[in-house]
Amino acid sequence: MDRVALRGLKARGHHGVFPREREEGQTFIVDLVLGLDTRPAAAADDLSKTVHYGVVAEEVVDVVKGEPVDLIETLAERIAQQCLKHEGVEEVEVVVHKPDAPITVPFDDVTITITRSRA
């Protein structure tokens, strides 16, 4: 399986369990790896035979900006399901970064990584 990766998609969302997170929002960063067979697209040099990563990027940002959820696990699942709606995408790895998580000690990042497939 071939891989198409999008790294560092950024959007402001209002996800989290604390009222402040819901009210003020924060930046979330998403990395994706889409698993698909790119041979048909390469052979025909045809965008319609692969995944349009620009469209995927816009959809993922819309999910992050969309309806708030408590957990980044839920957000990652919603993103994965959106990616799998694209014909040809057989698998997706989603990493959601929450660099401004409400943690009381110094830290660089909080992430959740999930992998989902059609099977």
Tell me the per-residue pLDDT of 1-25, one tens digit each, with 9 for 90 and over: 999 999 999 999 999 999 999 999 9
39, two tokens: 């041979």
> What value does the mean pLDDT take over residues 42-64?
97
**CATH code, domain with 66:** 3.30.1130.10
Known active-site residue 98: yes
pLDDT for residue 55: 98
Residue 68 burial by Cβ neighbours in a 10 Å radius (0-12, 13-18, 19+): middle
Number of domains in the chain: 1
Q: How far is CA 113 from CA 32, 35, 104, in A?
A: 10, 15, 23
CB distance 84 to 92 below 8 Å: yes
Q: List the catalytic residue out of 10, 49, 65, 98.
A: 98
Residue with tokens 């110094």: 106
pLDDT band at 108 (very low <50, low <70, confident <90, very high): very high
Which domain, by its residues, includes 41?
A: 1-115
